[in-house]
Amino acid sequence: MQRITKFLKYLDHQRFQVTVVTVRPSYFYTSDPTLAAEIPPEVRVIRSGSLDPFRLIYLFKHFWRRRRPSREEASPRESSGR
């Protein structure tokens, strides 16, 4: 991100319409908000979703817990009488 941010300063914004496409911030990765402050105001920034593996694992675990009944809710098994 640092190289791109520094490069954006030197583009001729009269000749180019610059758009940066990036992913939304994630809790799992660090980011430097001072770099975002260095982006010239003429630059359009588009943030999109991503297939972040950590986010997918979190969603899968959350979905799995909701679908699986808890032990208290599950019906008790009948004994076979042996």
Q: Give the residue, 50 or 45, on which the prediction is more confident.
A: 45
Residue/partner pairs of 42-45 with CB below 8 Å, 24 or more apart: 42/13, 42/18, 43/8, 43/13, 43/18, 43/19, 44/17, 44/18, 44/19, 44/20, 45/19, 45/20
Q: What is the pLDDT of residues 61-77, one digit of tens each?
A: 888 887 766 665 555 55
Q: What is the pLDDT of residues 51-60, one digit of tens each?
A: 878 878 888 8
Report the chain's mean pLDDT, rounded to a whole number.
Answer: 78
Q: What percent of the chain has pLDDT over 90?
A: 5
Query: What's the mean pLDDT in 35-59?
Result: 85
Q: Identify the residue whose tokens are 């999109």.
A: 48
